[in-house]
Chains A and B, each alone.
Chain A
Amino acid sequence: MTQTTNSTPSVSGSDPSVMIRLEGLTKRFPGQKVNAVDELTMDIHEGEIVVLVGPSGCGKTTTMKMINRIIEPSSGRIILKGQDVTTTNADDLRRRIGYVIQQVGLFPHMTIGQNIATVPRLIGWSAERVRNRVDELMTMVNMDPDEYRDRYPKQLSGGQQQRIGVARALGGDPSVMLMDEPFGAIDPITRDRLQNEFLRLQSEVRKTIVFVTHDIDEAIKMGDRIAILQEGSRIAQYDTPEQILTAPANDFVKDFIGSGASLKRLNLSRVSEIELSTWPTVTNEDSHERAHELLAASDHSAVLVLDDEGRPVRWAGADDLRRGSGKRLDQVGSVPQAVIEPRATLSDALNELVTARYAVTVVVDERGRYQGVVDIDQINETIRSMRSSAVAEARTEFASEGADPAQGSS
């Protein structure tokens, strides 16, 4: 894509991997007593999706619109690819930056093809090149060019319009995209699909993207890096989703991500990916003595009884064994409820185990045979290792970027 180690006049001391640098960026709207954006300084690295997220009115949109100067900053600087663009020609700047808004804003009097061709034509591409570009972009966003090229925006569904909005923003192959709640007005199912499509698209085009949302789930899903903003666009934490979830910098971040967030993180790992714990087991052929022995030798309060096939059939505690003395082991105790397969997520496992009798979830293979158990320690362990791998990842990233390792991991 774009060359970062080039010889364009650059601001002294700039890091070549930084695509956008905001320096002390401030906006005070006329007649307001406080700054809508107050002395914001942040670096946005090339090829990353940076999500600005925060409560309503904290200044996300204002911040984003200052990058393409739809809103002119009151003070501070915007540096794009090492070049100070705070006071250069705004229209030229905007042609280099794709812009997608929640209301999409397609031009209703133009066809889809004409909409997408807007910037390529503005920057003077040949008719041939523009035509090819339109088809290429429509294909990229999963819209058949031959079917939709000559339609008008009103003949498209909301989701299709937003796809075209994205295609149009990519028109002139900008290196930077600004997206303000692009999927905010779309129903949850379509939104999920558009998000996935967009992530796939981004893996191909590798743009530098500033993405605004007020939805932490969307931020976690979309962001390579998330900036959690407080009133006045003050950065509460600017970090990878893993770091933010596993090591929130302060109470504001903790409150903002809410308790559900770490559970969502658990949704990303499957039971098959972790090492299962063991639990004392007996077969239905074994004697009560054997069960008692096992119980005495372990610090668990029950044994798991397996049938001939190795499938868990009973939990048998010491009391159960006493009460059911003389009965076969598969006749005593209680039937295990919390049983899951390896494909289940850790979040499923956690859900099961909090209600389970012995605070573990039994894992069985697809034929129902006992594999091991998941307990709360393992879930904790997984969260811990997510945290340390996030730290390690962040470190190597910073090291490879040659940046100050202290920066960013606040």
Chain B
Amino acid sequence: MGFLEFLVKRADDMLELGIAHAVVVGAAVIIATVLGVALGVLTYRHERARDLTLALTGSFLTIPSFALFILLLSPLGLGWRPVLLALVLYGLLPVVRNTITGLRGVDPAIIESAKGMGLNRRQRLLRIELPLAWPVIITGVRVTTLVLLGIAAIGAIVNGPGYGELIFTGLARVGTPVAVNLVLSGAVGVMILAVLFDLIFYAVQRLTTSRGIR
């Protein structure tokens, strides 16, 4: 059976797995973005806190994903829970780092003039600094998304949702004719999702970035 034939035959599966994959990654990205931006906002003005946060969120990335999933297995059980938590941890660094870079890159003269006009700390952050740092932040979120799409596939080791299931099933049947098709369809599924997410990001970035700073 050819690969395309295989895909057509498994179209329903592909769609279902794709949605599950996208949902768990999407949820992880949203949580990682909220946490990451918050961490960035809290620490960007203090050198020590900044360095500590970057070191910590960076250290998560050094844990092999395979190991992390299995470590989270005992506290969280099988299924989407350990996958979601692991993805959030892996997704923090690009968001935090870009948030800090973006906020620190805002022209001090702009901040000073905002201050001089009587915008308080919160108003400055929400109306001036975050909107100006936004293009950099969203780039970080985009990187996070791509990284997480790949890692999520490994989540099938703990029965996580998504295309990983196809890949691991293929792995179990190495040597049979269907194995290659299974692994390939899982990989292609992830790639298609990556392209779709990127398109969404492109649209979101355009819609949420002021024309004045494009």
Contact = CB atoms under 8 A, between A and B. Distances in A.
Interface of A: 68, 70, 91-97, 99, 101, 103-111, 118-119, 122, 152-154, 165, 168-169, 171, 178
Contacts of B110: 105-108
B210 A104 contact: no
Contacts of A106: 110, 113
Contact of B115 (A94, A103, A122): A94
Nearest to B210: A109
Nearest to A122: B118
A106 B114 CA distance: 9
A74 to B, nearest CB: 19
B120 interface: yes
Contacts of B211: 152
Interface in B96-118: 107, 109-118
A107 B115 CA distance: 12
The 9 closest A-B pairs by CB, nearest first: A105-B113, A99-B116, A152-B212, A95-B118, A109-B210, A103-B109, A94-B118, A105-B109, A91-B118
Interface in B149-166: none
B48 to A, nearest CB: 17
Given A105-B107, A154-B212, A70 B112 contact: yes
11 contacts: A94-B117, A105-B111, A105-B114, A106-B110, A107-B110, A107-B114, A108-B110, A108-B213, A109-B213, A119-B118, A152-B210
Contact of A109 (B115, B123, B131): B131
A104 B113 contact: yes
Interface of B: 107, 109-120, 123, 128, 131-132, 210-213
Given A92-B118, A119-B117, A101 B112 contact: yes
Contacts of B213: 108-109
A109 B117 contact: no
Given A99-B113, A101-B112, A109 B132 contact: yes
Contacts of A93: 118
A105 B115 CA distance: 11
B137 to A, nearest CB: 13
Nearest to B131: A109
Contacts of A107: 110, 113-114, 128
Contacts of A122: 117-119, 123
A107 B212 CA distance: 9
Highest count of chain B CB atoms <10 Å: which of A92, A97, A103, A109 = A109
Contacts of A152: 210-212
Contacts of A97: 116
A104 B114 CA distance: 11
Contacts of B210: 108-110, 152
B212 A104 contact: no
B206 to A, nearest CB: 14
Nearest to A112: B212
A231 to B, nearest CB: 24
Contacts of B116: 68, 70, 94, 97, 99, 101, 178
Nearest to B212: A152
B202 to A, nearest CB: 19
A99 B110 CA distance: 12
A110 B127 CA distance: 10
A68 B113 CA distance: 11
Nearest to B132: A109
B118 to A, nearest CB: 4
A133 to B, nearest CB: 14
B31 to A, nearest CB: 27
Contact of A118 (B111, B117, B120, B132): B117
Nearest to A111: B212
Contacts of A103: 107, 109
Contacts of A105: 107, 109-114
Looking at B107, B113, B120, B132, which has the most chain A CB atoms within 10 Å of its CB?
A: B113
A178 to B, nearest CB: 8
B210 to A, nearest CB: 4
B122 to A, nearest CB: 10
Nearest to A151: B212
A91 B119 contact: yes
Contacts of A110: 210, 212
Nearest to A97: B116
Contacts of B107: 103, 105
A171 to B, nearest CB: 8
A101 B113 contact: yes
A154 B213 CA distance: 8
A28 to B, nearest CB: 21
Contacts of A108: 110, 132, 210, 212-213
Contacts of A95: 117-118
A105 B110 CA distance: 4
Given A110-B210, A111-B212, A154-B212, A101 B109 contact: yes
B162 to A, nearest CB: 37
B212 A109 contact: yes
A147 B158 CA distance: 61
Nearest to A118: B117
B108 to A, nearest CB: 9
A110 B117 CA distance: 15
Nearest to B120: A91
A104 B117 contact: no
Contacts of B117: 94-95, 99, 118-119, 122, 168-169, 171
